[in-house]
C-alpha cells in the first residue's frame, strides 16, 4: 500500500522575473520509509515568523522565484542537526504556483522535510515534499513511521509493481515472478499478483530485483537497490514494453 506519500517537483515551465506565473508538477516518489533518507532535515516545529522575499537574480534558475523565509521553533528532530530555531526557505509570493502549494501560518505546528537543492545553500521545502500541518491525516501517517525509527525493526522492505506498457499507449498490471538476490547468496521469489509484489524482513545490503515473465524466458529487466537501514523500504517499478 502506498502510504506516507512523498512528492517532488519534476518540471518547471516558467522562470521568475517573467510576467507569467511559474508552474510545477509533482510526481509520486514513494512512501516516507523510502524517501526519509534523502532529506537533510526532518523535524517538527512551530512557525515563529514568516518573511516574504523577492526573487533573487543570483540564484540558479530553478530557484529564481519569490520565496518566504520561515523561522521554526523546533520541538523534535529525526534527521539532521535541527534544534532551537531554524530557518527554511519555501517558494511563495506573487505569481508563484506550485502543485499543492504549501502555505505556512505563524503559530502553527508542522512536520517539515527539507533539503538543499543543487546550486542552493539554504534548506528548502515546498508543496511537493511531505511537509504537513499538525494535526492532519498526512502528518499522522508519516509520524507513525518516524516513531518507529528508535525501535527495533524486523527488517527492510523492497516492493513495487510490474506493468506492461502497450505500443499504442496505456499500461496494465502484469502477473509475473519477481526474484530478489542479495548478500550471502540470499535468493527469494515472490509472485506479483495484480501487478504488485513485496519482500519483507530484509537486512541492510545491496539487492538485485529481477522480473521473470514466463517460465524459461529470459529476464525482462533487472534493478539494483540498497537497503541502508532495517527501517527502510524501497519501491522498484518495472515497465515492460509489449
Tens digits of per-residue pLDDT, 127-182? 889 999 999 998 999 999 999 999 999 999 999 999 988 887 889 999 999 999 99
Strands 156-165 and 238-241: parallel
Nearest of 166, 107, 116 to residue 134 by alpha carbon: 107
- Cis-peptide into 79, omega within 30 deg: no
**Which CATH architecture does the domain made up of 7-146 adopt?**
Beta Barrel (2.40)
**CA–CA distance, 15 with 80 (Å, rounded to integer):** 31
Do the beta carbons of residue 132 and residue 30 sit within 8 Å?
no
Question: In the chain, where are the structural domains located?
Answer: 7-146, 156-241
Do the beta carbons of residue 29 and residue 6 sit within 8 Å?
yes
**Which CATH architecture does the domain made up of 156-241 adopt?**
Sandwich (2.60)
pTM of the full structure: 0.77
Tens digits of per-residue pLDDT, 72-131? 999 999 999 888 999 999 988 766 665 546 789 999 999 999 998 876 678 999 888 999
Amino acid at each position: 500500500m502506498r502510504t506516507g506519500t512523498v512528492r517532488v517537483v519534476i518540471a518547471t515551465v516558467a522562470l521568475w522575473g517573467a510576467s507569467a506565473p511559474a508552474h510545477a508538477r509533482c510526481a509520486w516518489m514513494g512512501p516516507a520509509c523510502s524517501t526519509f533518507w534523502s532529506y537533510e532535515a526532518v523535524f517538527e516545529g512551530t512557525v515563529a515568523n514568516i518573511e516574504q522575499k523577492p526573487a533573487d537574480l543570483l540564484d540558479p534558475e530553478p530557484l529564481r522565484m519569490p520565496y518566504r523565509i520561515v523561522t521554526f521553533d523546533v520541538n523534535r528532530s529525526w534527521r539532521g542537526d535541527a534544534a532551537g530555531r531554524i530557518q527554511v526557505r519555501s517558494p511563495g509570493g506573487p505569481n508563484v504556483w506550485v502543485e499543492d502549494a504549501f502555505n505556512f501560518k505563524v503559530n502553527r505546528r508542522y512536520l517539515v522535510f527539507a533539503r538543499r537543492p543543487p546550486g542552493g545553500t539554504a534548506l528548502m521545502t515546498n508543496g511537493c515534499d511531505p511537509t504537513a500541518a499538525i494535526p492532519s491525516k498526512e502528518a499522522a501517517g508519516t509520524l507513525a513511521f518516524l516513531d518507529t525509527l528508535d525501535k527495533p525493526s524486523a527488517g527492510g522492505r523492497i516492493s513495487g509493481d510490474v506493468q506492461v506498457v502497450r505500443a499504442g499507449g496505456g499500461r496494465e498490471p502484469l502477473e509475473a515472478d519477481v526474484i530478489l538476490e542479495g548478500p550471502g547468496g540470499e535468493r527469494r521469489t515472490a509472485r506479483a499478483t495484480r501487478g504488485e509484489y513485496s519482500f519483507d524482513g530484509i537486512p541492510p545490503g545491496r539487492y538485485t530485483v529481477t522480473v521473470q515473465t514466463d517460465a524459461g524466458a529470459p529476464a525482462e529487466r533487472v534493478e539494483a537497490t540498497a537497503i541502508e537501514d532495517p527501517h527502510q523500504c524501497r519501491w522498484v517499478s518495472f515497465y515492460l514494453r509489449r
